[in-house]
Structures are given as structure tokens and as C-alpha cells.
Amino acid sequence: MYNTGGEFNNAEEFLERYPGDDKCDALSFDTYQYGDSAKENWFAVQTKAKLDIISKIADEKNKLFALAETGYEAIPYPEWWTKTLVDAIGENKIAWVLVWRNHGMMADTRKMHYYAPYHGQVSEADFKKFYELERTYFEKDAKKENLYQ
């Protein structure tokens, strides 16, 4: 796995520390949503642009590519999954998207710290819609395919 932060704007910058084709089989980067995604679309636009860059590199190098670490802390936008994240992925056929952890209550701030919805959370219904999209593939889908025999 070759992974960077989201601080690249072209293939050369993304590959700046690339160790070589013989050292990795997947390309990825990390990026997070901040601000109000209901009013601002910077996350979707920038993430899609970066995935487009990596998609071309992955195709040339015959590698998988992914959004290795992402999310929107506390997911305050009820339609983040189907509006923002789906727009960010665009038509890219990424291998996976991984949202950051659900820590729970943070002792120092007394705030909940999470990146995936829980029962009753404001984006729960939208996550279920995301889950049901034909283009998403979850563990239950992989299990049906007997991929790990």
C-alpha cells in the first residue's frame, strides 16, 4: 500500500515518495470533510479530483486504488453519504472507502468522537441508502462471492 495525505495536485506530487511497483499493490490517500458540506462542496470536488489523478496512475501501473481514510466527524449533514461521499467518488471504481474510527465519548472534551453513524444518528438513514446502492459492495456482498476460500 502506498498512501499519502491529500496534499497533492498532480501525479508527480502524488508519486513523490513512491517506493516502486514491486513494493506496493494499491494506491490511496487520506482526506477528511470539515465545515458545512450542505453549503460547501470543496470536499467532494477536491476528493474527486484526487481520485481521478490516482485512477489514471493505478490504471497505468495495474494497481488497486482506494480512499484509505476519510470521514466527517459526527456526520452532521444528514445526506453526507449519498450526496457528498458519492459525489466525491464520482465514477471512479475504487477498491474501498474506509471511514475513521468510532471512539465514543472523549474524556478530555466530553464529546462523542465518531465517523460512522449509529442507530438514531442524523445520517443513519442516508448511510442505509448508501449501503443499498448498487455500486457499493459491503462484507455481506463479498461473503456471497466466496472470495476468501
Q: Where are the alpha helices (DSSP H) in the chain?
A: 11-14, 42-61, 86-89, 124-132, 139-145
Mean per-residue pLDDT for 109-134?
95
Kindly list the structural domains of the chain, giving each domain's residue range(s) and its CATH number in brackets, ordered by start.
Answer: 2-145 (3.20.20.80)
* pLDDT band at residue 105 using 50, 70 and 90 as cut-offs: confident
Give the pLDDT confidence of 52-64 residue by residue, as tens digits.
999 999 999 999 9
pTM for this model (two decimals): 0.91
Amino acid residing at 28: S
**What is the rounded CA–CA span in Å between residue 133 and residue 37?**
21
Element (H, E) at 143: helix 139-145
